[in-house]
Amino acid sequence: MAGAKIPEPRQTLDPEMVAHWLARHPDFFEGREGLLQQLKVPHPEGRGATSLLERLVHDLRGRAETAEWRLETLLESARHNEAQYRRIRELVLALLETESNDDLGQALARELSERFQTPQVALWCPSSLSDGEATPPQAPRQVLDSAAETRLSALLDGRASRCARLSVTDWKRLLPHAKVPDKPGSCALTRLALGEPLGYLVLASPDPDHFRASLDTLFTEYVGEVVARLLTRHAPPPHDTPRHA
């Protein structure tokens, strides 16, 4: 038909442009509260639509629950760290009260068992730290020989400390004072040194997952540093110089 107007194509707004415009005009809904109540948005649980205000309440409640969970996680971490600090403090104080290397080894085994659920401990030291003692070392202290030195060095694999699986054969060799488990266990070991090699500290468990290879060894290294210093403090002099009248 001549003269008829051709309808213009319907234009749609770009959602990104609308969102950008609303972000630049946060006061748009002032005085338009009725419009807010009419707006419908998808229900967060997929049950049709809900009002914008109800959706906002739902989102705010979810954020509050997330914040509460994060706060509880932080508090739980703080409580764990405080308990760990207290256990380490009691351990170190007990070791400082020892008067001999045998006392040191026994206090170490007792405190680690009671406070850190470590079933077995072995403290391997060279014979130079036993010179002058009237009796052989008492468990868990052992005199470091070439066989134990070779195996402990191999388990460390060039590192200062590590966690590793402990075979039944290694358990028999490295923890001769302890009951041998029926299957492989696990251990955390560290090299003791203070200017010179002083031996090895072995923490062991019959549970193969107790000392997993992925675990950090910072605690084992710290205990080893304390033990190394006390070993040298308690060690008897290598030779007594006779007194002359």
Q: What is the pTM of this model?
A: 0.70
Residue 123 CA to residue 4 CA, distance in Å, equals 103
Q: Are residues 193 and 74 in the same domain?
A: no
Instruction: Answer yes or no: is 33 within a domain.
Output: no
Residue 70 CA to residue 67 CA, distance in Å, equals 5
Q: Which of these three, 37, 64, 97, is where a domain ends?
A: 97
pLDDT attached to residue 110? 96
Residue 17 CA to residue 216 CA, distance in Å, equals 51
Instruction: Answer yes or no: is 125 within a domain.
Output: yes
| pLDDT > 90 in the chain, percent | 53
Res. 239: pLDDT tops 70: no
Instruction: Answer yes or no: is 226 within a domain.
Output: yes
Res. 78: pLDDT tops 70: yes
Token look-up 């134990």 returns 148
pLDDT attached to residue 16? 84
Instruction: Answer yes or no: is 86 within a domain.
Output: yes
Q: Name the residue type at position 63.
A: R
Instruction: Answer yes or no: is 92 within a domain.
Output: yes
Q: Are residues 162 and 79 in the same domain?
A: no
What are the residues whose beta carbons fall under 8 Å from the beta carbon of 167, sequence distance 6 or more? 184
Residue 203 CA to residue 191 CA, distance in Å, equals 12
Mark out the alpha helices in 134-187 (DSSP H runs).
146-156, 168-174
Convert the pLDDT of each residue in 194-222 to its tens digit: 888 899 999 999 999 999 999 999 999 99
Res. 74: pLDDT tops 80: yes
Q: Are residues 65 and 113 in the same domain?
A: no
Q: Are residues 92 and 109 in the same domain?
A: no
In DSSP terms, which residues pair with 191 in a beta bridge?
Answer: 200
Mean pLDDT of 72-91: 91
pLDDT attached to residue 41? 67
Q: Are residues 56 and 123 in the same domain?
A: no
Residue 122 CA to residue 196 CA, distance in Å, equals 20
Res. 150: pLDDT tops 90: yes
pLDDT attached to residue 37? 67
Between 74 and 45, the more confident residue is 74
Q: Are residues 76 and 113 in the same domain?
A: no
How sure is the predictor about 177, in pLDDT bands with cuts at 50, 70 and 90? Answer: very high
- CB neighbour burial string for 210-219, b if at least 16 within 10 angstroms, e if fewer: bbeeeeebeb
How sure is the predictor about 189, in pLDDT bands with cuts at 50, 70 and 90? Answer: very high
Q: How many domains does the chain have?
A: 2
Q: Are residues 54 and 129 in the same domain?
A: no
pLDDT attached to residue 241? 46
Residue 240 CA to residue 227 CA, distance in Å, equals 25
The residue among 186, 49, 171, 191 whose CA lies nearest residue 124 is 191
Instruction: Answer yes or no: is 18 within a domain.
Output: no
Mean pLDDT of 132-138: 74
Any idea what DSSP says for residue 41? Answer: E
pLDDT attached to residue 244? 46
Number of H helices, E strands in the chain: 7, 7
CATH code for the domain in which residue 127 is found: 3.30.450.40
Q: Which of these three, 97, 126, 161, is where a domain ends?
A: 97
The residue among 176, 169, 163 whose CA lies nearest residue 208 is 163
Any idea what DSSP says for residue 20? Answer: H
Q: Are residues 93 and 108 in the same domain?
A: no
Residue 82: domain span: 48-97
Res. 6: pLDDT tops 70: no
Mean pLDDT of 80-84: 90
How sure is the predictor about 180, in pLDDT bands with cuts at 50, 70 and 90? Answer: very high
Q: Are residues 81 and 107 in the same domain?
A: no
Listed as own residue / partner, the contacts of 170-175 with beta carbons closer than 8 Å and 24 or more positions apart are 171/204, 173/147, 173/148, 174/122, 174/124, 174/148, 174/202, 174/204, 175/120, 175/122, 175/140, 175/202, 175/204
Q: Are residues 85 and 131 in the same domain?
A: no
pLDDT attached to residue 238? 59
Please state whether the peptide bond connecting residue 15 to the residue before it is cis, i.e. omega within 30 degrees of 0.
no
Instruction: Answer yes or no: is 14 within a domain.
Output: no
Residue 115 CA to residue 219 CA, distance in Å, equals 13
pLDDT attached to residue 209? 95
Q: Are residues 212 and 127 in the same domain?
A: yes
How sure is the predictor about 60, in pLDDT bands with cuts at 50, 70 and 90? Answer: confident
Instruction: Answer yes or no: is 4 within a domain.
Output: no
